[in-house]
């Protein structure tokens, strides 16, 4: 993934490499945690292995070739996430200012699981009052908006 030597300041150039994950890899995670990912999220995440995905507004889960699904699993495998999942709010990333996790709002069925995205304020400790308004209507639209600006 590194395409240059480390410079004197510790920086280097890197590029993503072609991913090898398949839909069933994500389905195993969905089954383990009792969730459903949007189709667009799975399609995006499995395209490449990459080690950074901070977009200032949001931090999306990386896909390391050594542990490609680990950050997705980590976003789902802690006590607050358990409470959110029970409420059909599926953590998948972080809000860029440390307010809390980004969640897919799965409380209502939508085609291809293209759930709206909200932020959950971790200070609310599982109370639904910590849920923000919709910040993106879907993951597909979040990518379009984030990468078009």
Average confidence (pLDDT) over 130-140: 95
Mean pLDDT of the chain: 89
Please state the domain extents for the chain: 17-148
CA angle (117, 122, 125) in 5-degree steps: 115
Identify the burial level of 57 via C-beta atoms within 10 angstroms of its C-beta, where 0-12 means exposed, 13-18 middle and 19 or more buried. middle
- Span 17-148 CATH architecture: 3-Layer(aba) Sandwich (3.40)
pLDDT tens per residue across span 89-116: 999 999 988 899 999 999 999 999 999 9
List all residues 6 or more positions away from 36 whose beta carbon is below 8 Å from its beta carbon.
30, 90, 106, 113
pLDDT score recorded for residue 30: 96
Q: What is the pTM for the complete model shown? A: 0.78
Q: How confident is the model at residue 149 (pLDDT cuts 50, 70, 90)?
A: very low
List all residues 6 or more positions away from 7 whose beta carbon is below 8 Å from its beta carbon.
none
pLDDT score recorded for residue 10: 81
Q: Which residue has the higher pLDDT, 50 or 126?
A: 126
- Answer whether residue 148 shows pLDDT above 80: no
pLDDT score recorded for residue 87: 96
pLDDT score recorded for residue 12: 76
Pick from 6-10, 14-18, 78-82 the range whose average pLDDT is largest: 78-82
User: Are 47 and 3 within 8 A, CB to CB?
Assistant: no
């Amino acid at each position: 993934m590194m395409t240059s030597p480390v410079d004197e300041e510790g920086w280097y150039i890197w590029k993503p490499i072609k991913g090898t994950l398949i839909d069933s890899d994500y389905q195993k995670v969905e089954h383990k945690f009792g969730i459903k990912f949007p189709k667009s999220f799975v399609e995006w995440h499995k395209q490449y292995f990459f080690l950074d995905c901070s977009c200032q507004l949001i931090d999306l889960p990386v896909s390391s070739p050594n542990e490609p699904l680990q950050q997705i699993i980590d976003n789902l495998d802690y006590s607050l996430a358990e409470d959110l999942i029970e409420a059909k709010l599926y953590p998948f990333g972080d809000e860029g200012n440390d307010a809390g996790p980004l969640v897919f709002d799965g409380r209502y069925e939508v085609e291809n699981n293209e759930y709206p995205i909200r932020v959950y304020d971790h200070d609310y400790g599982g109370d639904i009052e910590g849920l923000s308004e919709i910040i993106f209507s879907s993951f597909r639209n979040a990518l379009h908006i984030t990468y078009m600006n």
